[in-house]
Amino acid sequence: MPSPRELRRRIRSITSTAQITRAMQMVAASKMRKAQQAALDFRPFARLVYRIQRAATTRMVEFSHPLIEKREVRKRAVILVGADKGLCGALNSNLFRLAAQFDPQTTVFITAGRKAAQFVAATRRQLAAEFAYGDEPRYPEARAIAGFAADLFLKKEVDEVRMVATQFINTLTQRALSLEFLPVGEIKALEVPGVDLAEEVTKLEEELTTDTTESLFEPSAEAVFDYLLPRYLNIYVHATLLSAKASEQSARMVGMKNATDSANGLIHDLTLEYNKLRQGNITKELLEIAGGQLGND
């Protein structure tokens, strides 16, 4: 059984840890609110751009753009969007478990976030490029990532590009996803909270398939798609970065709250054990004093 001094030392140590995790929880909560709001505010615009992309690409008749060209997949690139730091529960491990399913012999990785780059290095996979993004992802950061991936695809160094990232559902739920990126087309795996997106996408595809309206591109189809598709990819990556950052901050806040609660529970148990031991020692001393007095009498 531990001594009272050892119990006091453990209580002081765990109390210090609880203060640290509580401070980290408050910092993460502040960043989480900003990140969540940014991700949620951007979603309607991203969905609108996706509808425009689908409406334009399905009406292409006599023109084909290199970013839409479908090829047999011999080699693929994966844009892996991870967190910059740990202490966010199972967020990174769930993401990297999904990324590990790709064949390392035929897959090159484009990473965003320090943890993603560390995963690729630790598993000895092929790293094509490493990018960083901050607590408030900016459009130029997304443009750099999308531009590099598009260059690999246009140069035919890869035949397909996929995006592996964490989608923000709510504060308690984040989901690792593997999404289609290039060639540009339909996105099938994405979900939006409160919206039956699968039904919405199916309905959109049916509308586009049955729509026989003639489309006229001005000044030309080539000019329209040269402008639209790169910007669609930039917005796609930007929306993914916002969602990933909201997921990271939410998972970190929940993780630090759980750590603080566990520390407080452990402090309560140790304090109870310390009080019981202290009370037992006091009782023992009183009995010894009483016994000594009886012996003297």
Question: Active-site residues: which are they?
Answer: 88
Where do the H-state alpha helices sit in the chain? 4-57, 91-99, 114-122, 139-154, 197-210, 221-296
The CA distance from 99 to 251, in Å, is 19
What's the half-sphere exposure (Cβ side, CA atoms, 13 Å) at 196? Answer: 5
CA–CA separation, 199 and 59 (whole Å): 21
Other beta carbons less than 10 A from residue 143's beta carbon: 17
As a whole number of angstroms, the distance between CA 204 and CA 195 comes to 14
Compute the distance between CA of residue 92 and CA of residue 215 in angstroms, rounded to an integer. Answer: 45
CA gap 29, 252 in Å, rounded: 8
Comparing C-alpha atoms, which of 173, 178, 191 is closest to residue 254? 173
CB 139 within 8 A of CB 238: yes
Is residue 69 a contact partner of residue 80, using CB atoms and an 8 Å limit? Answer: no
Other beta carbons within 10 angstroms of residue 179's beta carbon come to: 16
